[in-house]
Amino acid sequence: MSEDRRRDGHGPEGRRRSAVVVGAGLAGLTAATGLAAHGIEVTVLEARDRVGGRTHGIEAAPGSRVDAGAAYLGDKHTELHALIAELGLKTAPTTMLGASRFALGSAAENDARDASADDDCTAAATREGRFPPLDAVALGDLFERLAELTAAVRPEAPWLTPDAERLDTLTAAEWAEQHLAHPDARLFFPLFLGEMCAADPADISVLHLAFYLRSGGGLRYLNAFAGGAQQDRIDGGAHQLCERLAERLGDRVRLGEAVRAVHQDDDAVTVHTGRGAHRADVAVLALPPLLADAIAHEPALPVPRAGERTARGCAVKVHLVYPAPLWRDHGLSGWSVNARGPLLSTVDDSPGSGIGVLTGFVTGAEAHRFGALTPERQRAEALAQAARLFPMLPEPIGFHVTDWLNDPYSQGCYAALLGPGDWTRLGPTLTAPHRRVHWAGTETSTAFFGLMEGAIRSGRRVVAEILDRS
């Protein structure tokens, strides 16, 4: 009988159970709607004036929104696909037809210029496909070494990986210094790392690098558009996921309530915000680890959520809006890779409604530099670089910067960067509840860590944990 009551949201005495969920991103709202579906009284507290967390849609043109945050998905993202279908949304393929542009500053770049390209395209190398005009043997060696690291890691428990202590002590920058002899491999490695996980090589351990690649489906899958993790986008923007989940909860979602403290006693947990206190049987903290640690916990956490070397994901997204995807008229895909910033890569994110959108990614150390500039200087640098890469384009009709690195309620994007010592010290308690407090968020998922799929899976895990509480 008690088991039946747990499944329908009631406790051992038949009283309806309650939960406070902190964070109205994809993980938090997945948890909240799942708990509510089982009859548990749910309140969601969100510091921002919007739901969505690290999914965020901005209006690039009237009636057209683009993803300023998480955007891409592939066929391995099964929970995400199921949620998209459940919410009545659709996907659209990521457009990657045409040649790529490379400004890598190497001799190989000059040799790779396409003689058939337009005369105004010669400021950077034009090349079919996405493989950069760098030494193929050197890059092959880089990818083979990364594949060996990835294959050795234990994705369900990285801290139990053979030689975990050493791998978690060594930074990716130190590993590159030891193993990458060719200058082209050394040039490309931080660009690749920025694209994959928005990290500076000095910020993450080799264990985290290997885990991140393995968790996301493998090196080849994570890096691919067609058939890979970047194959599709959600038509109309990924922010719709959270908006539709929040609609199911109605006024149970409370915006503008930043959580300051979480206090527990023998009977309940009380979550304190600037507007009041919310008491419940359990709490779900669906927050990045740096934010979770910034909350005052009583009793104190036995193990922190972040370590001394845990860093913010280094990502700034720049959207340049044009009257149409004009680069396609010149046989270009909109994809570029660049050794110098601010735009270390660009991709065609045009929404299919007529306008053209080039999304620029500013990652790693460059994100710190770019984020410290004035808005005027950011615009001037980004537009000057876009003009060098795509000189056939007019000045954009719209320009947007979304700085996740300095966002107070995200503390970085795509996800937190686990630095030296983090996995071996913090990994074993990654999902362990702290009495009545449960943890969600993409950083708590060992499958598809840092991705929307990981966020959803973490929310579903928490629902199962709470339903199983006696």
> Residue 158's pLDDT band (boundaries 50, 70, 90)?
very high
393/413 Cα distance (integer angstroms): 29
What pLDDT does residue 115 have? 37
CA-CA distance, 361 to 70, in Å (whole number)? 12
Q: What angle do CA 262, 287, 67 make, to 5 degrees?
A: 150
pLDDT of 120 over the 50 cut: no
> Residue 178: in which H helix or E strand, if any?
helix 172-179
Residue 169 pLDDT exceeds 90: yes
Tokens found for residue 449: 């860590």
DSSP state of 6: H
Written as six digits, the tokens of 377 are: 């200087």
- Report percent pLDDT > 70 for the chain: 93
pLDDT at 9: 66
Distances from the Cα of 185 to the Cαs of 132, 180, 196, 208, 418, in angstroms? 11, 6, 16, 20, 23
Joined together, the tokens standing for residue 398 give 């719209």
Can you give the length of the chain in residues? 470
Secondary structure element (H or E) that encloses residue 334, with its range: strand 332-338
In the block, residue with structure tokens 């006693």: 265
pLDDT at res. 416:
97
pLDDT band with cut points at 50, 70 and 90 for residue 42? very high
Specify the pairing of strand 332-338 against strand 99-103.
Answer: parallel
Asked whether the predicted pLDDT for residue 91 surpasses 60, the reply is yes
d(CA 52, CA 240): 8
The overall average pLDDT reported for the chain is 93
Burial grade of 25 (CB within 10 A; 0-12, 13-18, 19 or more): buried
β-strand pairing of 345-348 with 356-363:
antiparallel
| DSSP β-bridge partners for residue 66 | 58
Higher per-residue pLDDT: 15 or 431 = 431
Dihedral sign, Cα of residue 235, residue 241, residue 245, residue 251? negative
Q: What is the pLDDT of residue 70?
A: 96
Q: What does the pLDDT average to over 88-115? A: 74
Domain boundaries of the chain, sorted by first residue = 2-52+238-301+434-467
Mean pLDDT over residues 318-331, rounded? 96
Model pLDDT for residues 391-414, shown as the tens digit of each residue? 999 999 999 999 999 999 999 999
Q: Model confidence over 253-281: pLDDT tens digits?
A: 999 999 999 999 999 999 999 999 999 99
Say whether pLDDT at 329 is over 60: yes
pLDDT at 322 over 90: yes
pLDDT of residue 187: 97
Q: Which of 6-10, 50-54, 142-146, 375-379 has the lowest mean pLDDT?
A: 6-10
Q: Are 20 and 280 in contact (CB under 8 A)?
A: yes
pLDDT at 1: 34
198-242 pLDDT tens trace: 999 999 999 999 999 999 999 999 989 999 999 999 999 999 999
CATH topology for 2-52+238-301+434-467 is FAD/NAD(P)-binding domain (3.50.50)
- The DSSP bridge pattern shows strands 125-127 and 269-273 to be unpaired
Poorest-pLDDT segment among 262-266, 313-317, 351-355:
351-355
Angle between helices 136-152 and 183-197 (to 10 degrees): 50
> How much is the pLDDT for 14?
62
Cα atoms found within 13 Å of the Cα of residue 409, Cβ hemisphere only: 23
CB 427 within 8 A of CB 159: yes
Query: What average pLDDT does the segment 151-166 reach?
Result: 97
3-class SS of residue 355: coil
- What angle (nearest 5°) sits at the alpha carbon of residue 177, between those of residues 171 and 183? 135
Greater confidence, 108 or 148?
A: 148
pTM to 2 decimal places: 0.93
Distance CA 18, CA 10 (A): 9
Whether the predicted pLDDT of 363 surpasses 60: yes
Strand segments, DSSP code E, in 374-445 are: 398-403, 437-440
pLDDT tens-place string over residues 453-463 = 999 999 999 99
Q: State the average pLDDT over residues 437-465.
A: 98
Output the pLDDT for position 129: 86
Per-residue pLDDT, averaged over 2-24, amounts to: 71
Ranges of beta strands (E only) in 91-180 are 91-93, 99-103, 125-127
Amino acid 411 reads Q
pLDDT the model gives residue 95: 79
The mean per-residue pLDDT over the stretch 301-314 comes to: 96
The residues, ordered by sequence, that sit 6+ positions from 197 with a Cβ below 8 Å of its Cβ are 204, 209, 212, 313, 414, 415, 417, 450
**Angle ∠(124,125,126) on CA atoms, nearest 5:** 120
Q: What is the mean pLDDT of residues 300-315?
A: 97
Token pair in block for residue 32: 């909240």
Element (H or E) spanning 365, and its range? helix 365-371
Look at residue 2 in the predicted model and tell me its pLDDT.
40
pLDDT of 76 > 70? The answer is yes
Q: Is the pLDDT of residue 11 over 80?
A: no
Answer yes or no: is pLDDT of 114 > 70: no
Closest to 389 in 3D by CA, of 456, 355, 343: 343
- Specify the pLDDT at position 130: 87
396: phi > 0 → left, psi -120 to 50 → alpha, else beta; which? beta
